[in-house]
């Protein structure tokens, strides 16, 4: 029995499913999860000592690669000064100033510890600021595991075929309207029926939890127009896309300013930091200025903030995003070229900045239903073929992948060589 098998068997005795987040369990793809011992650059090593090219990167935060020396040094120096204070620090102010400068739609923000906490708080703020009850979300978009948002969600909930979670009372979700992603007409209809009671619309401008799915320009512009017209707030969930697809997030690519933005992942650089922020006139409703309450003992933790600030400093280097996007495009173009060499495989791929999606389908999906129609069995076979060749993809057909600045030409070339072999292996009967 391998060391990974031993650890998983041991974990099953004390941890539900043997993992602390559902998608890690390999339940969708089958097999034993890899227990990571260490990571550096674009690689990690498992408990059996095997090295993998990592295309998860802690689900997005490791944009500069694992264990970047400047980031590690910043964390070590901060830890030496103290692990937590429960009081303000200058670093928190610097983090807020950096984000406000890079994302002009944000005039003020509040730091928290997780994307779930940030999205949950943004929704409460939207309801408090507007005095309304209803929220609009979209099938396949995931905004954390708060009760009111687990309505036809993506991510792990989608992976296991349970779009809504047990334990969530119907009276909590009755004010959540779940619409089809990229369907502008459904938005028009929803606002025509409920416009006076819609507090906000929350959306991933580039979805990453039903695999990578881009929003259309028409969809987002219709959303912005309707929110403005009816006095609702537009919330961009950029937990994945913020500082991952561009320095200004997906909103800078689309040229649309949301009223509130939810951030996470990259702003923590691998440690738990998230944030929500937006226009000053909305943020003034948040305690201690206003009546909308939110608090957190570890919000703005000095070690986590130091990690995030060091990461944000690195991504502002000239040409950083051009190089990242080029390597990501090289990866997906190479994957599609390799698939074309093997008859009988429907395969396509897409990328935005440092995020990518692979789909066993003829066309890139544009909504939740199309993602569900992709060939999951073929993906599972490909996942294990790549894993056997030292390439670690997301263990689910419904998750985006991530490239870091540390994925150099050697890592990409090794990945494409593994892919050529893997496509051939899964095509054989």
Residues annotated as part of the active site: 142, 237, 265
Q: Name the one residue in this structure whose structure tokens are 């619309």.
A: 201
Torsion angle of alpha carbons 55, 58, 59, 63, nearest 10°?
Answer: -70
Extract the runs of DSSP E, i.e. beta strands, from 219-308.
233-238, 260-263, 274-278
Q: State the Cα–Cα distance between residues 422 and 3, nearest whole angstrom.
A: 25
Task: Identify the CA nearest to 356 among candidates 245, 204, 243.
Answer: 245
Residue 218 Cα distances to 23, 105, 181, 204, angstroms? 32, 20, 12, 15
- Any idea what DSSP says for residue 195? G
In the structure, how many helices (H) and strands (E) does the chain have? Answer: 15, 16
Extract the runs of DSSP E, i.e. beta strands, from 114-251.
134-138, 176-179, 198-203, 206-207, 213-214, 233-238
Torsion angle of alpha carbons 289, 242, 202, 297, nearest 10°?
Answer: -40
Within a 10 A sphere around the Cβ of 278, how many other Cβ atoms?
27
CA dihedral over 71, 74, 80, 84, signed as positive or negative: negative
Task: Identify the CA nearest to 263 among candidates 308, 228, 306, 227.
Answer: 308
């Amino acid at each position: 029995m391998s060391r990974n098998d031993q650890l998983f068997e041991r974990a099953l005795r004390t941890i539900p499913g043997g993992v602390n987040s559902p998608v890690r369990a390999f339940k969708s793809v089958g097999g034993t999860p890899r227990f990571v011992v260490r990571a550096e650059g674009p690689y990690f090593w498992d408990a059996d000592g095997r090295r993998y090219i990592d295309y998860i990167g802690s689900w997005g935060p490791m944009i500069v690669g694992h264990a970047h020396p400047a980031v590690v040094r910043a964390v070590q120096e901060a830890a030496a000064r103290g692990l937590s204070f429960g009081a303000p620090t200058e670093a928190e102010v610097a983090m807020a100033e950096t984000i406000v400068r890079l994302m002009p739609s944000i005039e003020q923000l509040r730091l928290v510890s997780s994307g779930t906490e940030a999205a949950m708080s943004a929704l409460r703020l939207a309801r408090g600021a507007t005095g309304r009850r209803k929220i609009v979300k979209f099938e396949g978009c995931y905004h954390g595991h708060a009760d009111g948002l687990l309505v036809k969600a993506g991510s792990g909930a989608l992976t296991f075929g349970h779009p809504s979670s047990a334990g969530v009372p119907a009276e909590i979700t009755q004010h959540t309207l779940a619409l089809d992603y990229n369907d502008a007409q459904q938005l028009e209809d929803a606002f025509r029926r409920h416009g006076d009671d819609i507090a906000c619309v929350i959306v991933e401008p580039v979805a990453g939890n039903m695999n990578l799915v881009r929003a259309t320009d028409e969809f987002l512009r219709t959303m912005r127009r309707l929110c403005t017209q009816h006095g609702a707030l537009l919330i961009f969930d950029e937990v994945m896309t913020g500082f991952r697809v561009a320095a200004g997030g997906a909103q800078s690519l689309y040229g649309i300013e949301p009223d509130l933005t939810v951030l996470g992942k990259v702003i923590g650089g691998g440690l738990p930091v998230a944030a929500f922020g937006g226009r000053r006139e909305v943020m003034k409703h948040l305690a201690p200025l206003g009546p909308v309450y939110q608090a957190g003992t570890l919000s703005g933790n000095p070690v986590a903030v130091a990690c995030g600030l060091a990461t944000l400093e690195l991504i502002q280097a000239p040409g950083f995003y051009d190089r990242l996007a080029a390597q990501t495009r090289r990866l997906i173009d190479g994957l599609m070229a390799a698939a074309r060499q093997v008859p009988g495989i429907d395969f396509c791929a897409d990328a935005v900045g440092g995020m990518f999606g692979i789909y066993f389908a003829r066309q890139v999906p544009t909504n939740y239903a199309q993602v569900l129609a992709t060939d999951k069995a073929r993906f599972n076979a490909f996942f294990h073929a790549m894993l056997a060749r030292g390439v670690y993809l997301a263990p689910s057909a419904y998750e985006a992948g991530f490239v870091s600045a540390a994925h150099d030409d050697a890592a990409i070339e090794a990945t494409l060589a593994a892919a050529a072999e893997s496509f051939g292996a899964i095509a054989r009967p």
